[in-house]
């Protein structure tokens, strides 16, 4: 890790004045922002990387712990998209962004999705051959690979149930390093998040980093941009100032990027087309333990019915089980007695609903709205039914869906009265994949940026994060985000 990261808990560059000038300012240090800052700095640009949250090393807090939620998640993880059916979601708010809190599962964008985006949104230079070099480069840099040893028992349950039903199951590769010298548990590996990969590279190339700093507004001054910032000092006070740059790359994610652009007066096709993967969970109890002292997220997914829906495993700790079982008091009591026999699983759909992101004057967080369609509720019902059948085939003895008034189920025969559509207000939906609030392409009726992320009619202003994806890709989106961002930055630098 770069020496400067070891000398500061959060702020690499602690003081700024209005006289500072940069070629490029990158706002947001998640996968899109960190990769952007790294490539620009390595190309010789004077770059400033700005992050609203703190810098917290991976080893400072336990994975999936309350402390991690308090320090790395926006609003402690208590964020929701409002609508007739509320959807809970989480966002990283720390140096490294979502890469510091997610499970590291990696997919390339499915070819049929790329084709649909290219034709509907009219994206230039966007076929499989254009993107393969960028996927491959990211996979090398992040050490994307399968686990060297056996998967967690909770993950193998997915594979076992799918096998018994004749359904396709796969182990999903992850961006993990298994040969790190400081790794005490090689089977677990070390997540190759942004604070272990692109941020150290960016700093080594001369990039400067400010954490604990919120960007309030962007303003065009002649041929340059002025970026209004507010940095939190160690004593709790705030220092407000502005820094100028030739180029701005907004990388705050699918909610924060449109919120910043809209409060800066930039609104054309911004924040109007939020997409997400509506996800419903089920907690399964087995007759024998499937959990260990090592908190590991299942690495198997069942994609037999993709792209309509897919199954996977979720975080499995007593605290997360208790939260998911709030509507099943009997399940909480059972879990308290023997939590190691429990596993958390999900059914995920791409969804045809749409939402919006709006800045609300006076509030620090944007208003996020999403409408789950009736079709989505029917698809989610079918997906959850299939997942329950899979878990019974894997040996589950009790199932607790995250739907008020449904379950627990103890035999597969009890599933015969399953509803065709999940109840709108009683279904507890969540998502960790939010995209598409600034879609890219040359179709100006739909798109906020051109084919390479430049905001229309705004010179030297770019978006480089999940906002660019035209719709949900139907798979974990970080691979798509990073390949597209890498392509776009290289085009900006004239390297493609």
pLDDT tens digits for range 316-344: 888 888 989 988 988 999 999 999 999 99
pLDDT at 68: 87
Domains of the chain plus CATH, in order, are 3-56+101-142+192-272+434-492 (3.50.50.60), 153-182+278-431 (3.30.410)
- Which one of the listed residues 107, 134, 300, 433 is annotated catalytic? 433
Strand partners, 311: 302, 347
pLDDT tens digits for range 416-475: 989 999 999 999 999 989 999 999 999 999 999 999 999 999 999 999 999 999 999 999
pLDDT tens digits for range 136-153: 999 999 999 999 988 999
Start-to-end C-alpha separation, the chain: 30
Reported as a pLDDT band with limits 50, 70 and 90, residue 8 is very low
Give the 3-state secondary structure of the chain: CCHHHHCCCCCCCCCCCCCCEEEEEEECCCHHHHHHHHHHHHCCCCEEEECCCCCCCHHHCCCCCHHHHHHHEHHHHCEEEECCCCEEECCECCCCHHHHCCCCECCCCCHHHHHHHHHHHCCCCCCHHHHHHHHHHHHHHCCEECCCCCCCHHHHHHHHHHHHHCCCEEECCEEEECCCCCCCCCCCCEECCHHHCHHHHHHHCCCEEECCEEEEEEEEECCEEEEEEEEECCCCCEEEEEEEEEEEEECCHHHHHHHHHHHCCCCCCCCCCEEECCEEEEEEEECCCCCCCCCCCCCEEECCCCCCEEEEECCCCHHHHHHHCCCCHHHHHHHHHCHHHEEEEEEEECCCCEEEEECCCCCCCCEEEEECCHHHHHHHHHHHHHHHHHHHHCCEEEEEECECCCCCECCHHHHHHCCCCCCCCCECEEECCEECCCCECCCCCCCCECCCCEECCCCCEEECCHHHCCCCCCCCCHHHHHHHHHHHHHHHCCCC
CA dihedral 182, 187, 192, 193 (to 10 degrees): -100
Query: Residue 383's CB: how many other CB atoms inside 10 A?
Result: 24
Reported as a pLDDT band with limits 50, 70 and 90, residue 496 is low
pLDDT at 187: 59
pLDDT tens digits for range 384-403: 999 999 999 999 999 999 99
User: Catalytic: 433?
Assistant: yes
């Amino acid at each position: 890790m770069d020496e400067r990261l070891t000398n500061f808990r959060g702020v690499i560059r602690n003081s700024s004045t209005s006289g500072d000038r940069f070629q490029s300012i990158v706002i947001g240090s998640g996968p899109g922002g960190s990769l952007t800052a790294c490539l620009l700095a390595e190309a010789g640009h004077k770059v400033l990387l700005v992050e609203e949250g703190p810098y917290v090393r991976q080893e400072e807090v336990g994975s999936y712990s309350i402390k991690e939620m308090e320090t790395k998640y926006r609003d402690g993880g208590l964020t929701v998209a409002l609508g007739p059916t509320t959807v809970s979601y989480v966002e990283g708010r720390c140096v490294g962004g979502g890469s510091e809190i997610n499970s590291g599962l990696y997919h390339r964008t499915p070819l049929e999705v790329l084709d649909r985006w290219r034709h509907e949104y009219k994206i230039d230079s966007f076929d499989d051959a254009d993107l393969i070099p960028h996927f491959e480069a990211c996979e090398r840099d992040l050490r994307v690979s399968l686990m060297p040893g056996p998967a967690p028992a909770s993950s193998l349950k997915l594979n076992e149930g799918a096998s018994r039903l004749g359904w396709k199951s796969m182990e999903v590769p992850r961006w993990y390093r298994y040969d790190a010298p400081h790794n005490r548990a090689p089977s677990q590996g070390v997540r190759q998040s942004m604070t272990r990969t692109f941020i150290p590279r960016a700093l080594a190339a001369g990039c400067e980093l400010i954490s604990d700093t919120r960007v309030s507004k962007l303003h065009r001054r002649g041929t340059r941009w002025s970026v209004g910032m507010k940095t939190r000092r160690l004593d709790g006070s705030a220092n407000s100032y502005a820094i100028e740059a030739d180029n701005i790359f907004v990388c705050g994610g699918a909610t924060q990027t449109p919120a910043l652009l809209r409060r800066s007066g930039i609104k054309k096709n911004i924040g109007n087309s939020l997409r997400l993967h509506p996800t419903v969970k089920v907690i399964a109890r087995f007759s024998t333990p499937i959990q260990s002292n090592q908190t590991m997220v299942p690495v198997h997914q069942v994609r037999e019915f993709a792209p309509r829906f897919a199954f996977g495993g979720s975080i499995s700790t007593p605290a997360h089980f208790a939260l998911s079982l709030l509507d099943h008091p009997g399940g909480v009591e059972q879990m308290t007695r023997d939590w190691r026999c429990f596993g958390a699983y999900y059914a995920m759909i791409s969804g045809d609903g749409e939402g919006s992101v709006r800045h609300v004057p006076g509030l620090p967080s944007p208003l996020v709205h999403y409408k789950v369609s009736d079709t989505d509720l029917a698809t989610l019902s079918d997906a959850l039914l299939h997942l329950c059948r899979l878990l019974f085939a894997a040996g589950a003895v009790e199932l607790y869906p995250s739907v008020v008034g449904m379950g627990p189920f103890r035999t597969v025969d009890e599933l015969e009265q399953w509803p065709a559509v999940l109840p709108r207000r009683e279904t507890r939906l969540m998502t960790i994949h939010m995209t598409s609030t600034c879609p890219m392409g040359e179709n100006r009726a739909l798109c906020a940026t051109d084919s390479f992320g430049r905001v229309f009619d705004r010179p030297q202003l770019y978006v480089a994060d999940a906002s660019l994806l035209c719709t949900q890709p139907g798979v974990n989106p970080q691979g798509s985000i990073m390949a597209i961002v890498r392509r776009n930055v290289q085009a900006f630098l004239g390297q493609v």
